Amino acid sequence: MPKAPQPKTLETQPIALAWQPESRRHFAVGCVDGRVEIHSTKQAQPLARVWHGDRGAASAVAWSGGLCAGFGDGAVCCWDTNGGAKAWKAKGRGDKVTAMLSTRGLLAVGDDGGRIALRDARLSGDRGPAISTQPHADYVSGLCAIRDEVLVSAGADGVLAAMDLRKSLKSIGETDPFEDELLSCCVTPHSVVAGTATGPLLVWSRKDLNKEPSVVASEHDSVEALVAVQDVVLTGTGDGVVRAYEEGEDASLTDIGGIGAHGGFPVEVLAKTSGDELVASLSHDNVVRFFDTTSAGAVKQMLAEESDSSDDSDDSDKPKKKKAKKETFFDGL
């Protein structure tokens, strides 16, 4: 079984990470001081520094027709990594880029104002107006996709929204707003999962997405990051621990323990390779940590012992909704 690379310490704090497609060695990071760099798990120094400018923090990165980065001033830039030249740049509205996702050759960008823009990153030249929508009243905290057809967004306003990628981000539905902030989201083979600011996970079964989500109670801190690897969901929490949850065919999640930690610093980013072989995590300690996720068995081998978990939760554990709405989430999906 392949081993995970050794942790890698960077010169400055990385706050965004994306693996190069089809690679389990090369990845890009965006840093708090505005740097955008390409690294290798095999080398101490960066392979390339693509950008170090005055646009604010490089708060999001993604590979989409090149290496793309979103910045604190709302701008989005993309570089041709073969030559290092800037392929295109799009000015933002001044709101910090908070999330990016590459899917179907398209680049989805969420910002601090709750807007989502969709661009075809394969085109060259400066970007004209993008397709955009505003599903959230607060910042977009996470983006994920179902079958590369439906874009799902989590917002700090407590709403999970769904948009059709094939129909110019036409709204499919949204949840009633929860009082708890949603900080992350991911899609698994059986469910859609959202992480909350107070710790519980909200889980919608993909067999019936219009039903109310089940709540996986947790005594852990806020769920800052989520990533799904086969039938295992990894969470990055505010107490600095990366935890694993095993998914059942009924979309249930069972806490099977912690697989690593960042010394008490919040784990704010989890990113997987395109082949699901590795997951990288980021925190405030300037260290990139790696986890072997070639199989659920590999994840379980990282556990010193299974953590005791409880599936029981009472109503006090469940995030409350602000108000009822007539529509149900994912109507028509």
Q: What is the DSSP string of 159-226?
A: -EEEEEGGGTTEEEEEPPPBSSPEEEEEE-SSEEEEEETTSPEEEEETT-TTSPPEEE--SS--EEEE
Q: Which two tokens stand for residue 169?
A: 């981000």
- H helices of the chain, in order, are 296-301
User: Average pLDDT, stretch 208-231?
Assistant: 89
Q: What is the mean pLDDT of the chain?
A: 86
4-13 pLDDT tens trace: 899 999 999 9
Pick from 74-88, 195-209, 272-286: least confident: 74-88
Contacts of 186 (CB under 8 A, 6+ apart): 142, 144, 192, 193, 226, 227, 228, 233
Contact call for residues 271 and 229 (beta carbons, < 8 A): no
Radius of gyration of the chain, Cα coordinates, nearest whole angstrom: 19
Contact call for residues 198 and 180 (beta carbons, < 8 A): yes
Q: What is the DSSP string of 128-156?
A: -PPEEE---SS-EEEEEEETTTEEEEEET
Looking at residue 321, its amino acid is K
30-79 pLDDT tens trace: 999 999 999 999 999 999 998 887 889 999 999 998 899 999 999 999 99
Provide the greatest CA pair distance for the chain.
57
